[in-house]
Structure formats: structure tokens, C-alpha cells
Amino acid sequence: MHNRGDYLMKKILLFIMLITSYLNCTPYTLCIDGGGSKTILQVLDDEGRIVPLKKANCIADYIETSASNPNTVRLQGVKNVFQTLFQDVVLMDRDVELSKHFPECHVVAGMAGVSTSENRDIILGIMEEYGLVNENITLLNDGELTLQLIGEQGGILISGTGSICFTKNNGITYQTGGLGPVLGDEGSGYHIGLEALKIGLAHEYGWGSS
């Protein structure tokens, strides 16, 4: 667990804007930001206020753990992430375990790798195993979630561990990238690091320039 950072707060604002319509009908809303390097959970109460969380005797505004993209960490890796996010977490406003409210909670999750129905079903299945209700879960990939904020026209470019671009024009959505490290992810941290290693090795073995 970590203290709140500016980067996190910018992303949480996106979640708050998207879930406003849900806040009055559920006691808590779980906001999950899952990517290729890390996954973050933050909880909002029915008035949109951030609820401090306690885990392993540490109190913070959010819980952070490792990557949750099912394309890279596979099923067991995703299960490990949700175990860290959900188990033995206490809501400090009521001093009660978060899991006790799961049946009535709403979830808004923006997670890399859930564009395919197979990966989406994996994530939903794990959430349901913890007692979250399918009808209360809004699960989108991180690009789709951000796209909710730009109205009828605009674009979103994400370049993190991976990369993806969405644009919307007159209500029609277009996607470029988001194909993973083997077929795409140009301009991402992974891609830049890989290209640097290739250049360095080419120089070391004599067929590349310094």
C-alpha cells in the first residue's frame, strides 16, 4: 500500500465521473485500474468520498499490487492480484471487512487485456467468486473506460507498459494498437525497452552501430 500520488488522482477522477450515476444506489463503489505493470484498487462511498483502507496494519487511500493483464500474467496471476486487492481489506469508515459488502457493491474496472470475451469472462468469473454480482460490474479495457469522457468526438492515446489508441467521431469508435507485445504495443515502455536491447546487442555482436 502506498500514499496517494498525483498520477493516481488523475485516473481516479475518470472513475468518479463515470460512476456518478451509481453512487446513490450502492454503499460502496470499487474502482480498479489494471495494467501491464500494476493494479490499483480505490473505494468510494455513496457520496463519492474516498474511503481509507487497512491491510496488514497499513492504512492508505488505495491498494496497489502487480500487473493483471491476463495476456501476460495468465489466470493464476490474475487470481493472485485479486487476492491481494480483496482479502483482509478493512473499510476504515466502518471498521468492517470490505468483502462483507461485496454483494451490494458496484465495480468500475478499467483493465488492460479484457478486449476479448475469453479474458473478460476470466476477470468476471474471479470477481464473482469473491461474491461480487455480475450485474453490478462495469468492466472495460483501460482505453474504453477513458473514452467515456470525451463525448461524441475526440481521441485517447495510452502509452504505458503497452499502448493503444481510441478515437470517436460522431459516435463511431475506432481502435489502433492494443495488440500486445508480440504484434503491437509500439511506443510503449515495453517496446522502447525491447528496441534499446536489440540495438545494444547488435552493437555488441558487431553488426550494429554504436
In this prediction, residue 9 carries a pLDDT of 55
CA distances from 133 to 31, 102, 112, 138 (A): 15, 8, 21, 11
Angle among Cα 157, 123, 15 to the nearest 5 degrees reads 45
Please indicate, yes or no, whether the overall pTM of this predicted structure exceeds 0.95. Answer: no
In this prediction, residue 13 carries a pLDDT of 55
The set of cell numbers assigned to 188 is 510503449
- Which neighbouring-strand residues pair with 62? 2
In this prediction, residue 10 carries a pLDDT of 54
In this prediction, residue 50 carries a pLDDT of 93
Residues 206 and 143: beta-carbon distance below 8 Å: no
Over the chain (210 residues), the average pLDDT of each successive run of 10 is 52 57 68 90 92 93 92 90 94 89 92 86 93 93 76 83 84 80 84 93 87
